[in-house]
Amino acid sequence: MKQQRGHKARLYLTPAQQVAADEQGHAARTMWNLIHSWWTMLPKDRRNLAAADAAIRQGRKDLPWLAELPAQASQQVLKTYFRAWVNCWEGRADAPNFKSRFRSRMAIDIPQGRDLQIVRLNRRWGRMWAPKIGYVLFRWTKDLPVGKRADKLNKVTGGRLVKDADGWHVVFRVQREIPEPQPHTGPAVGIDRGITKPLAFSDGTFREHGPWLIEGETKRLRRLEQASARKRHARRKNEPASNRLRRTYDQIAQLRAKAKRRAVDWQHRTTAEAAETFSRIGVEDLAITNMVKSARGTVENPGTRVRQKAGLNRAIATEAWGRTVTLLEYKAAQRGGQVVKVPAPNTSRRCSACGFITPGNRETQARFVCKADSCGYAVNADTNAARNIDHAAGLAVSGRRAGADRQAEKRQPPTRPHAA
C-alpha cells in the first residue's frame, strides 16, 4: 500500500540565506497576486493554464526581482492557484483571494524531490539543496528514504519551504510502500472532547494536559500584549505600524507558536496511544464552526453574555477538537482500526446505564446523576457522554454491516433456476 506523508523539519539558514529565502517568499506571494489579478480581469473564455503560463514567463522577463523565484516554484504557484479554484468550484473552499504581506505565510515550493539532494550528515543533522539559496542544514528527527534507502516506491517526492513565527522550516513530501494493515483486535472506546477534561474515554480514564506556557512565559506574553496595545493606541489613524510594534508582534507570535507546538505534540502522542490501543474509536460529529460563532448579534438584536461566549470560543479553539479527530482518523487507519462519527444530540443528557433522557440529569457541569426513579446512576458527566458515544458507534457499525450483508444477499445468485 502506498503511503504519502509530510515531515516537517527546522532549517538553519545563514544571514545571506535568510535574505534570499525572504526575497523568494515575497516573490511567490506577489506571483500569486499577479496571477489572481490577471485571472479575474480576463473574460472567462480566455482563462486557461497555457495563457497563464505565458503571462508568468513574460512577467519574469519584465520584472527582474520576480525572477528571484525559481522557475519551477513559479509554475507551482500557478498550479496551486488553479487547484484553489477547482476546490472552490467543487464546494470544498472559498474563492482564492489576494495574499496580504503581513497576514499570509511565506512559502516556496520545490516540486521535484531530486532537486533537494538530501544527505544525512550525522545523527542530528541533515543537509538539503534549495534552489537559488544553496545548501541548507536542517534537524534530522526522522529517517527519510534518501540515498541507498530510496527507490521507486520509497522516496522524497518534493518539498516546501515555509516561514513560521519561529523561522523557516521545510516540509518534505515522503512516499513509502507499506504492508496492508491487519484488522485491529483491540477493544472499542468512545471519546468525548471537552474543555475541563480535554479527552474523556468511555473506560473511565481521561487524557489531560496542563497550560501550554509556563508561568514565566505567560507573564511575558501578557506584558507583550499590553505593550502592543499601548503602541497601537499611540499610532495615528492610517499610519503604518512602527518597527517597535512589529517587533512586539513577532515576539507575541513566537510565544503563541511555541504553545501551538506543544499542543500539537500532546495531540500526536495521545492520539497515537489511542490508535494503538483501540480498534474502534467513536467521536461526536460536531459542527465546530457553528459552535464558535460570536454571540455579539446585531445592532437591532444585540447578543447577551458576549464576553463569556467569547471566552468559551477561545477555549474551544485552543483545544483544536477538529485536529484531534483528523489525527485519530489517519493513525487508526494505519493500524487497522477505524474512527466512527456519531450524531451529537443528547449524548450529554442520556443516561448510559438506562437510556433515560432529561436536561435535569446534569446536576453540575462535571457531574451526571440519572433522574429516573429506578436508576440513580451517578458518574462523571464526560465519562457518561463518552459511553453514549461508544454505544452509538457500535450501533452505527453494526447497522453498516447489516446493510452490507443485505446487499450481499441481493447479489447472490439464485439457488434454483428461474421457472421458464
pLDDT for residue 322? 93
341 phi, psi to nearest 5 deg: -95, 130
Within 10 angstroms of residue 405's Cβ, the number of other Cβ atoms is 10
Residue 94 CB neighbour total at 10 angstroms:
8
Give the per-residue pLDDT at 397: 79
Taking phi over 0 as left and psi of -120 to 50 as alpha, with beta for the rest, 194 belongs to: beta
Amino acid symbol at 159? G
Rg (CA), the chain: 27
Could you give the strand order of the β-sheet that contains 338-342, starting from the edge strand earlier in sequence?
Answer: 206-207, 199-201, 188-193, 280-284, 338-342
Cell of 384: 457518561
Contact status, residue 110 vs residue 116, Cβ threshold 8 Å: yes
Q: Give whole-number Cα distances, 16 to 19, 37, 64, 119, 169, in Å.
A: 5, 32, 19, 22, 16
Query: Distance between CA 208 and CA 199 in Å, rounded?
Result: 7
Q: Sketch the domain layout of the chain as residue ranges.
A: 2-177, 182-208+255-411
CB count in 10 Å sphere of residue 331: 19
The pLDDT profile of the chain, 420 residues, written as one tens digit per residue, is 888 999 999 999 999 999 999 999 999 999 999 999 999 998 888 888 888 889 899 988 988 889 899 999 999 999 999 999 999 999 988 999 999 988 889 999 999 999 999 999 999 999 999 999 999 999 999 899 998 888 888 999 999 999 999 899 999 999 999 888 899 999 999 999 999 899 999 999 999 999 999 999 999 999 999 999 998 888 888 788 888 999 999 999 999 999 999 999 999 999 999 999 999 999 999 888 888 888 888 777 888 888 888 899 999 999 999 999 999 999 999 999 999 999 988 888 888 888 888 877 776 778 888 888 788 888 888 999 999 999 999 988 776 555 544 444 443 433 333 332
For 104-118, b/e burial (b = at least 16 CB within 10 A) is eebbbbbbebeebeb
Of 179, 175, 180, 178, which is closest to residue 154 (Cα–Cα)? 175
pTM of the model: 0.84
Please answer whether residues 146 and 120 qualify as being in contact, where contact means their C-beta atoms are separated by less than 8 angstroms. yes
Q: What share of the chain is helix, strand, coil (3-state, %, to 5)?
A: 45, 20, 35
Question: What per-residue confidence (pLDDT) applies to 408?
Answer: 40
